[in-house]
Amino acid sequence: MSWTCYRPDPRIDAFRQSYLELNAGRDRNQIRMRLDVSFRAEEESIDAFQWFCWRSPSMVAEYDLFLEVSRNYRFLLDVGASHGVYALSFCVG
């Protein structure tokens, strides 16, 4: 039997570093998701939003695609929103 070690996606470190730089000196109730997307949120929600910033490369890619595609739209129907990160980001943009 051979054992393989779990190796986290190397992009996580780069995403995390970018997130930390964007959020240096922020209010504890504020989060900057991307350079042009920031909003106030309950401190308890910040952790959930971080999945779209650095914790999950697939969620980072999905969020980036959403920001790119939604940029030219004026209306959004966010059905099934969990934390509302897409709706909040849409309103900011």
69-90 pLDDT, tens digit per residue, is 999 999 999 888 788 899 999 9
Q: State the total domains in the chain.
A: 1
Rounded distance between C-alpha atoms, residue 81 and residue 29, angstroms: 20
pLDDT in tens, 28-64: 899 999 999 999 999 889 999 999 999 999 999 999 9
Is 4 among the domain residues? Answer: no
Is 3 among the domain residues? Answer: no
Is 27 among the domain residues? Answer: yes
Using DSSP, state whether 33 is helix, strand or coil.
strand
11 sits in which H/E element: helix 11-22
Q: Which domain covers residue 82, as residue numbers?
A: 11-92
Residue 12 backbone phi and psi in degrees, to 5: -60, -45
Is 6 among the domain residues? Answer: no
Is 63 among the domain residues? Answer: yes
Is 37 among the domain residues? Answer: yes
Quick one: which of 22, 84, 87, 6 has its CA closest to 54? 22
Rounded distance between C-alpha atoms, residue 52 and residue 15, angstroms: 10
